[in-house]
Structure 1
């Protein structure tokens, strides 16, 4: 069976506009803050790096309260102006903060290496939006040897799922193109293409973990070790053992990241059943479901290829039973 499928640490606008996500937002804040609460032990520099569309000002203030010697904030958007405004209103803390309003992290020049690098580089499926590459570039350019990264590890989790209602909902979208006399136009020649087109689009939503057909497996990305070019193309072998006999309608994916502090270790997760985050989960739905028996092995590959629009042009999911 084959199917081809065509965004911490602290975002003020999300806090104001997404009250229904308060629990997940609080977790996002607690994860890094808890990890660096003893930052005074490091006694040196501190960096906050975020390359795309987020206000780092509150995080910078928290870092300074925790005792950082200096914080450098890299901000690509106009939100840098608001960060500077907040800094100006808090001069005692603000004198140890530098805001770099640059489009690309490659264009930034810092006067020193840093002890700690913080970012919110996660997208849907962890790698979408391709912010991880900027995070890795910042690591190579600014982080001193043995420096800390928050987050330090990411994991992509995958499992087959069964959801008859979702499958029917997607299939019904193509029914319009089965009309043979739509204002004297026969639309049926395009039915096959539109049917496959609807199934080629991943579904981003939150779902019940009871829809999973087997225990998940995970692919680990160590942000301390991975190279930028390793993110251009990711190929993950898949192997599952079905827990129940049912129809498999595709592959579900989510991620988590580790904030590995010396005092506190926290995982920020987008898993089904956990408090819903702004990343939700992602499901790749196949156009031809496959039936599996309990105990049956499901194997395949998940292959993603990056493109220039800050995403991944192809998610190719293949599976065999």
Structure 2
């Protein structure tokens, strides 16, 4: 049961979340992301025989681009839901493409709006940084249970979180060691900033465009998410274990995390949207959990550990991430990271 303070915090966090999506910048960034947008388009269009003459619900429709794809794929009706004021622009996009006879824009939250009928298909681009940042999947789960017919199609249907060790000294130097360079550049010492920089940067989940050559393992899955069956209770504590092998002798300076999303449908090839550093860049980039200092590792060293992701106490749309791991027979380590100071979307161009 929520008390009054919890309700106020919930409303405040929702207000910040939805207002952030009222700006053109974030939508430009998403639409410019061809890996993301073409994956949705391909998945939707290859399911045109399943979508034809069916009812679709689009949760968090934004500019309405996915709703328009569904309409072009032959949907009888598309209910496009969004609580942000960007929905006014979505109405214009729908009208410009002469799809207003199919796409119906609904302003509000999936938790509170009503539909006149059940949907056959649910589509949503809900994935956030570190997959679960922003907590939009909760709304998709509610919409699934409220609006989708039993056995209905969900796009995407599954996601997997991956983890890999990194030798990311270049990025570490760019943000931390940088403060030792001002003496040479400006004849002004600022090394006193290093503890402050570490405190601000190394306790939070960092959003980075990771060079693939800094990753010391192809990536190991540690959590599989099935959107058809996941519950709100499941999302209150996401956890998994992993085992990685270092492919070189170097220093371990951080742990990288990314996700893949899978668009599965009966008798169709699975479309995969990957945010891996080995795949074409996306606006999600990757996440890095930095160490305080580099740890020497040898080629072949095995790193075993676990990760637990929970909604942050201060704001349920943010995350607390507990990382525990051990390199070989070395000392076990454990640290909690948060997304409070995680930077916003990295511009694609």
TM category (shorter chain) comes to 0.7 to 0.9
Is contact 2:241-2:305 (8 Å) kept?
yes
Render the CA deviation track for 1:231-272: whole Å, top value 9, x for unaligned: 122222222122222211110011110111333420011111
Q: Taking structure 1 as reference, are residues 114 and 211 closer, same or farther at Cα in structure 2, changes over 3 Å only?
A: same
Counterpart selection for 1:38 from 38, 44, 49: 49
Distance 2:301 2:231 in 1: 36
Residue 105 of structure 1: SS of its match in structure 2?
A: coil
Is contact 2:130-2:259 (8 Å) kept?
yes
Q: For structure 1, list consecutive stretches of 5 or more residues without a partner in the other structure.
A: 1-6, 177-186
Distance 1:19 1:97 in 2: 21
Q: CA deviation at 1:115?
A: 0.7
Q: Taking structure 1 as reference, are residues 129 and 26 closer, same or farther at Cα in structure 2, changes over 3 Å only?
A: closer
Mapping of 1:24-103 within 5 angstroms?
24-40=35-51, 43-50=53-60, 54-56=62-64, 58-88=65-95, 93-102=99-108
Distance 1:77 1:116 in 2: 22
Distance 1:152 1:217 in 2: 20
Is contact 2:41-2:66 (8 Å) kept?
no
Q: Taking CA–CA contacts closer than 8 Å with sequence separation of 6 or more, which of the two structures ends up with the larger relative contact order?
A: 1
Q: 2:237 aligns to what?
A: 233
With structure 2 as the length reference, what TM-score do the two structures score? Answer: 0.75
Distance 2:25 2:34 in 1: 12
Q: CA deviation at 1:310?
A: 4.9
Residue 155 of structure 1: SS of its match in structure 2?
A: strand
Mapping of 1:1-321 within 5 angstroms?
13=24, 17=28, 21=32, 23-40=34-51, 43-50=53-60, 54-56=62-64, 58-88=65-95, 93-102=99-108, 104-172=109-177, 192=195, 194-218=197-221, 219-262=223-266, 263-307=268-312, 309-321=315-327
Pick which of 265-274 and 192-201 moved more. Answer: 192-201
Distance 2:177 2:233 in 1: 40
Q: CA deviation at 1:87?
A: 4.2
Distance 2:321 2:175 in 1: 18
Q: Taking structure 1 as reference, are residues 283 and 75 closer, same or farther at Cα in structure 2, changes over 3 Å only?
A: same
Q: For structure 2, list consecutive stretches of 5 or more residues without a partner in the other structure.
A: 1-16, 182-190, 328-349
